[in-house]
Chains A and B, each alone.
Chain A
Amino acid sequence: MIVVWDAEGATAAAIDHLAIDLGKVVGEKDLALCAAAIRRAAAVRCPCTREELIDAVVGGFSRLSNVSLSNRELVAAAFEALLLSGDLLRSVPPGEEGRPLVHLAPPSFVRRWNGSASLIGGLPDVGLPLPAELKPRLRSRGGFRQLPAGGEVSVIDELIAAGFSEFPMDAWLQAPTHLTPSQLLGRLNRDLDDVGPAGAVDEVLVLDSSRSPRFYKGRWTEPGRRSGRFIAQTPGRWGGRRWLYVELDAGEVRKLVTLPRVDNRFRGADEAWWIQAAIDHLNGTPQSYVRTRTDAGIQVISFFSPLPMWAERRMYPVAGRVAVSRGALIAFVLDREQGDEEIKFLIDRLWVVEAPADVEA
């Protein structure tokens, strides 16, 4: 049978098909939909590269009606959200440093303190092997899928019976070894001292530490005539970005090391943001957060620089991500009584400081 559709009808049908595994969407619908599309692509295409996965989604919806699924930036954001949730995993095959592979995590769950479960991964070709009786309870927020506690049988028991494995919360929250800013930077600087001269590096952007950490996007700039050591990025050979720690001499890249360098379980971006936090701390301009308490018994914690994946994950067991305001980059909402442990962790590991709520960016 051959059925003819117009572009809108076809798009709607494709979206319906993708939305099956989303359940009730909380928060940004477009991001959740893009995440569903990436998961579907991962189920049939992984292992493959990040760019191939994003292209599979964007290419499948391009030139149709104006949908979020053809918005490369949004699909890329959904991809990162799935790395954050743990749905997707990254590995670097030997000899293929420029072409890391992405894998779909096996069907697993992370048990949350309130008895609910965050669902991770899926099966090749199949996707999320969730029993039919649990599907109505499924909720999605961005790259996260959750089954709230409740019902006669515990969600955890039902998931185990359905073949999901438990992924321990402490393993999900795994972070790099605890280092002081000096230790971290000292290690990177020694590595940079030891490498030979860099060849020609095109299209470099550097993160200018002299600019305010309260406006992350504004800190990225071309090298100009700068000299010194910087976090930097260049376009990756096969798409994406390559994160670097570089030494500039009058705007020329003299030396470079590719990140991650300290802990290759994490992305280059995670290590770059961690190193930048150390640089800012040692420069006396530490990165900051703002805590806003409301009368409704909740608080919003806003950050102005990106958090490494291992730091952002710390917030999810107790907080939900919300839309940002006032120049912030990421914000989380949580009960007033919660979050102290997580903030303490960020102070300890990323050396952030609390800024007054009324400070403008």
Chain B
Amino acid sequence: MSSHHELQRELERHFSLLLTQRPSGQAIFALEHGLDEDARSQIADSVRATARSRRERDATWLPWIVHATEVAYRYSGEEYWTSFADSTPGWDHRERNWLRATFRRFAREFRGPTPSGRWAEWFNIIAWPITNSILPTDLQRHLARALFELRGELARHLETPRDLGAFIALHAWHGSDRFENLKQQPDLLGQISLGLLRPDRPDGEFLLGSTTRRIVADLQAHRESRLWLGHARTAVERAINTRGPRSAGVPIQRPPDLVASTLRASAPRLYLVQAADHSWTPKLRLPYLGAFGEIAEVGGALRVSRPWIPAASSSFAPGRLLYDRQDVPLSRWPEPDEPLIRFGEPASGLEAAVMKSWVMPGEPWLFKRDRFGKAQPMERPSVRPGSPYILASRVPLFSQLLNPVQTTVPGMNLYQLELQADSAHEVLDELKRLGLGVALGIDVYPVGVPAAWDGQGRSEWLETDEPAFAIVADHPVAHLEVWLRDRSRVIPNISAWSPLVLSVPGLGLGSHELRLVEQHHAARSELAMAIEIRAPRPSLPEHHGPLSGWVDPFSSRLDDLWAGRSTISVVGVAHQAECRLTLASRSGAQALASAGTMTDLPLTPHKWRALLRDNLKPSKGMEVAFDDARWAQVVLTAGPFGKCSFEFERELSPIRWRLQRTRTTVTLRLVDETDQDARLSVERARFSSPTTRDRLSTSGASDSGSGWELASPDPGLYVAIAGRHRAAVIVKETAVMRSFDDLVLRLTPISVDPTPTGLSALASEAELWGTAALTGNPVAAMWRSQVVRHLHRKLVSELCGPSWAAGEAVVYENHAIGLSRLKNQLITTAGVPAAVIQLVDNATQLSETAVAERVQRLAGIAGLAARIAPKAFGELGRDRGSSEIRLAEFTLRLATDVSAPRWAGIHLIPALEVLLAWPVLLQAGRYLGLANPSSLVGDLEYPPLYSGWEWP
């Protein structure tokens, strides 16, 4: 009997034993083989010895399972089959279906995991060893981070692996494509997480102890991962020790009113700030989204939406709301019941959930002034003698109690109000007329330092605090009742001006009210104090200090960062920071290249794009390194103010392009991991004629296991299609520059079929060029910009007509003259609606509002298309309202970006039909796009196509 067969039997015994120990419903992973390093090298020997014989492989299939899993454990999203072939001499790639069948056998006989989800369909063979490897090294970091971020709530979800896995999958915020794959398998994710979080549980309950220790040891090789896991374990341990885990029969319940109270506690608040010229400006304190980690029905929707503030006419990245204590100045006063924040698609349904708590309350609007030029909103409109207030009103108020103060908000009336201590009783009627009450007699204020205090009636405390309040009466109080929910306590005989302190320990998360009732003979007076209890807000692990940063639109993909589709914003302090971009083959590996430069904070998307283009990308070695890199990190370091960092990885799609360079050669490789028999096709379009694609020969590509490759690729766009998968890359490799002439792109005229079908093809070509991956060469980015703009102009010209296109050309030479010409053309069009003229007149102003607001404005005009192209219009939505909105957004997207086809989906053709029938609508959209000279971007820059028109 050979040692290979001995290994097979040993593994059979081991996995059989594990099967008896593991609770039913939980998988056994091939990585739980329990073998030490020596034994693992025996496995490798066994595999090598049996590689060429199918019969031998069948007889020693478990060592093969272990071997394939070990390769997967080291997998970092690179090329699985190449690594597998390298470590398996004699392996024939055509046998890969055998490997999948063998893993299926492991699933049947030993309850091995079965990969599921979209990624398992895409990578339908390598998904098996990867799933069995539990947590490949590159995923360890992502999971450790997710556990850290969610550590405060993990203890509520320890009952079953599925519960925990579903919770993590729903709430883990960032992650790579590979981590997203893991999230699609919540049972496995939960089981793995429990194994990592609960080393105290019996060996093998979730994972084999030696396997867990191995993963933890590998994970601890990275400082941050070690810290993250350590903090997560401590938090879970602490919660279990203090509250008891669900599994111990003591369920940790979510407070029943958590949604309402979290919404209330996180509600945006309008407050006033006084400027140096004494005028008062309203500001909105933004809500803090991190508090929604636990509320699935709200949190998930908020994170993918693009919020905007109607009263500030500005939208912002949702990532910004993960940071506490941020303010936005308002340009107008919100109407009563108007949402203070709105959410665009796909979270518009969310507005209903937040509407009640996050709308502007009705009048009277009373603010209490502090000594520092700020005034906080009062929940209850009562004034205390001796304290200064600001009363805001939409109509002028006339009262001897009020003194007007200046405000920057047009149409608003602000008044200062301060009652003399001895005049309160005489002016009660006057106050009542103004909608105000008066707080007399007893003063209540927090003892110690609460998290927030509005100076009169609302305080906010951390869950770890013991809220306490001092009560001071200006008269002797014989009988004071203190109420907290349905409990009360009577305090007799309080002397005047002698402070008494109440503490209210043990209040749970949420909103509470402390009521004080003074009964004096028949008279009864009441005072209420709102108390909000909230959990301490977790720090984001990659942010250290007061800097706040986010990626907008959010993406963790390296290609999006490099192409400028996603930008980095950093705010928090006005300071200088070093911005460093590092490229590496994987997280933790030695850098392939790194570039740094100084920048001023705040860092805006516009400034980031300029930094990337002018300072980071051109640095030595970056261009070449980008083509080899799979991981990137951007770190902004602001000295004592700390730092924030962002990580990016390559997209993991079943087919993907790679450019490989040696000293003398450049090869374009297509990695194909679909493991399907779908035919592979590769096409190329040259820069000079971007809409014409040539098909390239791919014979024999799928048999090698390493995809397809092309030496010294000609410049252009390469598109690979295999079944449902498509990958596009733009290549511009100039081995030798003979002259600057080589840098000049000469585009040939494009001929287009001017029908909806022909135009949709042109729009789709523009989108393909606009979204294709870029290689490191900066000329590729410049030429791509020219091509995208060329295609987009052609599309606009076809839809709006040559005369309009000629007018637009003038805009680029002389903005004022060109715009005036366009305006003239638009308003003199026969039958142009008045609404279009109105829109054109206000275009500059409108172009500075939030994109969602511009869509709303154009929707009013888009509805008129129902009469002109009723059939196509009707195909755009369920009803007139939804058709209007969709057509308006499509029009503006088409006018200012190339992403409209993907956004429109099946509505692309009918939407184009409408625009062909009524070009005025697109002309109005284009006018809006061109109205602001600062939105025009140079020909060599893309994205964005137009600044200020970045679409989510």
- A-to-B contact residues, CB < 8 Å: 1-7, 9-11, 13-14, 17-18, 37, 40-41, 44-47, 49, 51-52, 55-57, 59-61, 63-64, 86, 89, 91-94, 98-99, 101, 103-108, 121, 123-126, 160-163, 165, 167, 171-172, 237-239
Contacts and interface: CB of A to CB of B under 8 A. Distances in A.
B503 interface: yes
Contacts of B500: 4-7
A2 B504 contact: yes
B806 interface: no
A61 B487 CA distance: 27
Nearest to A91: B573
Given A2-B487, A45-B451, A60-B448, 18 more contacts: A3-B504, A3-B505, A7-B470, A9-B501, A10-B447, A17-B448, A37-B449, A41-B449, A45-B449, A46-B325, A59-B445, A103-B641, A106-B642, A107-B544, A124-B324, A171-B640, A238-B372, A239-B372
A123 B227 CA distance: 15
A157 to B, nearest CB: 11
Nearest to B462: A125
A69 to B, nearest CB: 9
Contact of B468 (A13, A51, A121, A172): A13
Nearest to A38: B449
B371 A89 contact: no
A121 B640 CA distance: 10
Given A4-B500, A14-B468, A124 B539 contact: yes
A17 B373 contact: no
Query: Helix, strand, loop or mixed for chain A's interface?
Result: mixed
B362 interface: no
Contacts of B545: 103, 105-106, 121
Contact of B503 (A3, A98, A123): A3
B502 A5 contact: yes
Interface in B602-632: none
Contact of B501 (A7, A161, A167): A7
A89 B447 contact: no
Contacts of B371: 51, 55, 238-239
Which of A6, A103, A160, A167 has the most C-beta atoms of chain B within 10 angstroms of its own C-beta? Answer: A103
A160 B230 CA distance: 13
Interface string B479-500: 0001010010101000000011
B640 A105 contact: yes
A101 to B, nearest CB: 8
30 contacts: A1-B505, A2-B482, A2-B487, A2-B502, A4-B491, A5-B502, A7-B499, A7-B501, A14-B448, A17-B448, A18-B448, A37-B449, A40-B449, A44-B449, A45-B452, A56-B449, A57-B449, A60-B446, A60-B449, A63-B472, A86-B640, A89-B641, A91-B573, A99-B372, A105-B545, A106-B545, A162-B227, A171-B639, A238-B372, A239-B372
A331 B489 CA distance: 53
B640 A4 contact: no
B640 A167 contact: yes
A1 B447 contact: no
A104 B640 CA distance: 10
A33 to B, nearest CB: 13
Given A10-B470, A98-B276, A171-B640, A49 B502 contact: no
A99 B503 CA distance: 34
Contacts of A59: 445, 453
A64 B447 contact: yes
A324 B574 CA distance: 37
Nearest to A120: B640
B466 interface: yes
Contact of A92 (B470, B472, B574): B574
Interface string B415-456: 000000000000000000000000000000111111111000
Nearest to B372: A238
B878 interface: no
Most buried by B among A40, A51, A59: A59
A123 B276 CA distance: 32
A37 B447 CA distance: 12
Contacts of A99: 372-373
Given A13-B468, A47-B325, A51-B372, A60 B575 contact: no
A224 B132 CA distance: 85
Contacts of A47: 325, 546, 572
A123 B546 CA distance: 9
B376 to A, nearest CB: 11
B501 A5 contact: yes
Nearest to A40: B449
Contact of B544 (A2, A49, A101, A106): A106
B885 to A, nearest CB: 37
B539 A49 contact: no
A60 B451 contact: no
B536 A61 contact: no
Given A44-B462, A86-B640, A106-B642, A93 B451 contact: no
Contacts of A40: 449
B223 interface: yes
B52 interface: no
A237 B546 contact: no
Nearest to B325: A47
A193 B771 CA distance: 57
Nearest to A101: B573
Contacts of B502: 2-5
B871 interface: no
A5 B447 CA distance: 11
A64 B491 CA distance: 18
B468 A5 contact: yes
B249 interface: no
A61 B223 CA distance: 42
Nearest to A92: B574
B256 interface: no
B449 A63 contact: no
B574 to A, nearest CB: 6
Interface string B530-554: 0000001101000011100000000
B377 to A, nearest CB: 17
Top 10 A-B residue pairs of the complex, sorted by shortest distance between their CB atoms: A106-B545, A10-B501, A106-B642, A125-B536, A103-B546, A5-B501, A44-B451, A91-B573, A106-B544, A14-B448
A91 B449 contact: no
Given A37-B449, A125-B536, A237 B470 contact: no
B227 A161 contact: yes
Contacts of B505: 1, 3
Contacts of A2: 482, 484, 487, 489, 502-504
Nearest to B483: A2
Contacts of A56: 449, 453
Contacts of B231: 163
A6 B450 CA distance: 19
Interface in B5-41: none
A172 B572 CA distance: 21
B506 interface: yes
Contact of B447 (A14, A41, A160, A167): A14
Contacts of B499: 7, 63-64
Contacts of A6: 500-501
Contacts of B451: 44-45, 125
Contacts of A160: 223
A242 B324 CA distance: 30
B227 A163 contact: yes
Interface string B56-99: 00000000000000000000000000000000000000000000
A61 B575 CA distance: 35
Contact of A60 (B447, B487, B506, B573): B447
A105 B547 CA distance: 10
B479 to A, nearest CB: 14
Contacts of A103: 545-546, 572-573, 641
Given A46-B546, A124-B324, A167-B640, A91 B575 contact: yes
Contact of A93 (B324, B482, B574): B574
B372 A10 contact: no
